[in-house]
Amino acid sequence: MYKNIKNIDKIVFGNGSFSQLESILKPHRVENNKYFVFIVDDFFDGKELANQLPAYEEDMVFFIDASHDEPKTGQIDHLRDEILDLKGTPSGIVGIGGGSIMDIAKALSVMVNNPGSATKYQGLNLVKNPGIYHVGIPTISGTGAECSTTAVLTGPEKKLGIKCEWTPFNQLILDPELTLTVPKNQWFYTGMDTYIHCIESASGRLYNTFAKAYGDQSIELCKDVFLRENSGQSLENSEKLMVASLFGGLSLSYSEVGVCHALSYGLSYVLGTRHGLANCIAFNVLEDYYPDAVGDFKKMVIKHGIDLPKNMSKDWTDEQVTRMAEISYALSHMWDHAIGEDWKEKVTLDMIKDLFYRM
C-alpha cells in the first residue's frame, strides 16, 4: 500500500506576505463562534509583528514561551479548556512562531473538537472528530512542522505526535522576513533539522523518487545557506531556508528520518535538550552512518562559529545513557528505514550506548 498523503490546502510565499493574514481570515470568521485564537511566540510580544496582528476585539491572543520546554500534552489540555470555557469553539487557530508553536496550533485545532486529554490521541489516526480551520505562520525555518501531519507533544509517558488527517494546516503564510531576527545559534540548530531530515530521508529504504526530488532541492538550498560562498543570515538566504524547510518536510512525507533522529529523541527525552540542538549533537558523532554529510556539517559549524557542546557524556550516569539508548532503540520505524528490516540483528543497545558516549 502506498501512503495517501494529506497536504496543506493553501500556501502564500513572499516577503511581506504576513500583511495578507487579515483578508485570508475574513471569510472564515463566520464559522463556529465567530472568533479567532492567535497562538504567538512570546518573542514577538511588544514587537512590531504584535502590533500588526489582525486580531479583532472578540479574538483571543496567547503569547507562549517556546524558549525552554517543547509542547506538552498538559499544556494543550489546559489551553483547550480555557478557550472552550471562555468562548466556545473558535472559527480557527492561527499559530505564529517556530516548530513548537506550529505543533501547539495543530494540536489545538483538533483538540477543540475532541474530548479528554491530548495523551489519548498521541499516535496515528486516533483522533475521532475533524479539527477546525488553522493557519501556520513560521518565524524560524527548519523543522518542517509547517507541512507535516504530526503535532509532536511530550506527555507523561512518551514524546509522540498526534498524527491524523486533520493536523496539516489549511493555510500557510511563508514570509521569510519574519525569520530575520532569529539568533545565530538557533538559526543553525533549527536550519540543520531540515538538512538532516533530507540526509536521513535519502539514506534508507523508504526513499523514492518523490522523496528524492524534494530532498535534493532542499539539500542544495541548505548548502547555499550554510556552506557556499554567500552563506549566512540574509534575506535571500531566509527565503531559501524557508523553502528548504518546506521541501524537507515534503521529502519526509514519503520517507523517514533515521539514526540521528532516533538518538536525538533519546537525548531530548532524558535531558530535555531541544530538538534542533539535540540533532546537531547527535549528527556530529555519526560519521560511520552518514560520512559525507557529517563532513559537510562539521565545515558548516566552523564556518559560522556555532556553539556545539562536546564531551557531554562525561557528566552522564550509565543509567541515563541506558535510558537514552532504550528510547532510541524503541523508535523501530527509524532504524528499520536506516538499517533495514533486519536492523535488530545489526544494531544492539550497546552500540547505541557507545554512540551516546561519543557525544
Interface with ligand NAD by CB under 6 A: which residues?
41, 43, 66-67, 70-71, 97-101, 103, 139-140, 142-145, 148, 150-152, 178-179, 181-182, 186, 190, 193, 275-276
178 binds, among ligand NAD, Zn ion, none (CB under 5 to 8 A by kind): ligand NAD
| Nearer of residues 18 and 297 to Zn ion, judged by Cβ | 297
Min CB(29)–ligand NAD separation in Å: 27
Residue whose C-alpha cell is 509522540: 160
For 164, 215, 231, 323, the CA distances from 221, given in Å and listed in that order, are 29, 10, 10, 36
Q: How far is CA 188 from the centre of its chain?
A: 14
Q: Please tell me the distance from the alpha carbon of residue 58 to that of residue 281, in angstroms, as a whole number.
A: 45
Min CB(319)–Zn ion separation in Å: 26
Min CB(234)–ligand NAD separation in Å: 15
| Nearer of residues 48 and 292 to ligand NAD, judged by Cβ | 48
For 31, 185, 235, 244, 352, the CA distances from 182, given in Å and listed in that order, are 35, 8, 12, 17, 33
Are residues 40 and 53 in contact, defined by beta-carbon separation less than 8 angstroms?
yes
Residue whose C-alpha cell is 498538559: 74
| Nearer of residues 92 and 144 to Zn ion, judged by Cβ | 144
| Nearer of residues 33 and 67 to ligand NAD, judged by Cβ | 67
State which amino acid sits at residue 261: H
Q: How many Cβ atoms from other residues are within 10 Å of residue 125's Cβ?
A: 11
Label each residue of 243-311 as H, E or C. Answer: HHHHHHHHHHHCCCCCHHHHHHHHHHHHHCCCHHHHHHHHHCCCCCCCHHHHHHHHHHHHHCCCCCCCC
67 binds, among Zn ion, ligand NAD, none (CB under 5 to 8 A by kind): ligand NAD
248 binds, among Zn ion, ligand NAD, none (CB under 5 to 8 A by kind): none
99 binds, among Zn ion, ligand NAD, none (CB under 5 to 8 A by kind): ligand NAD
What are φ and ψ of residue 337, in 5° steps?
-65, -45
3-state secondary structure of 174: strand
Min CB(85)–ligand NAD separation in Å: 26
70 binds, among ligand NAD, Zn ion, none (CB under 5 to 8 A by kind): ligand NAD
Show Cβ contacts of residue 257 under 8 Å, excluding neighbours closer than 6 positions: 196, 197, 200, 201, 334, 337
273 binds, among ligand NAD, Zn ion, none (CB under 5 to 8 A by kind): none
Min CB(86)–ligand NAD separation in Å: 25
Q: Please tell me the distance from the alpha carbon of residue 218 to that of residue 197, in angstroms, as a whole number.
A: 10
Q: Please tell me the distance from the alpha carbon of residue 240 to that of residue 9, in angstroms, as a whole number.
A: 22
Q: How many Cβ atoms from other residues are within 10 Å of residue 126's Cβ?
A: 12
| Nearer of residues 221 and 347 to ligand NAD, judged by Cβ | 221
Min CB(127)–ligand NAD separation in Å: 15
Judged on CB neighbours under 10 Å (0-12, 13-18, 19+), 311 is: exposed
* Binding letters toward Zn ion, positions 187-226, x by CB under 5 A: ------x---------------------------------
| Nearer of residues 75 and 245 to Zn ion, judged by Cβ | 245
| Nearer of residues 202 and 246 to ligand NAD, judged by Cβ | 246
Min CB(197)–ligand NAD separation in Å: 8
| Nearer of residues 90 and 95 to ligand NAD, judged by Cβ | 95
| Count of residues touching Zn ion (by CB under 5 A) | 1
Min CB(305)–ligand NAD separation in Å: 18
Which residues within the stretch 164-193 sit at the binding site for Zn ion (CB under 5 A)?
193
Contact residues for Zn ion (CB under 5 A)?
193
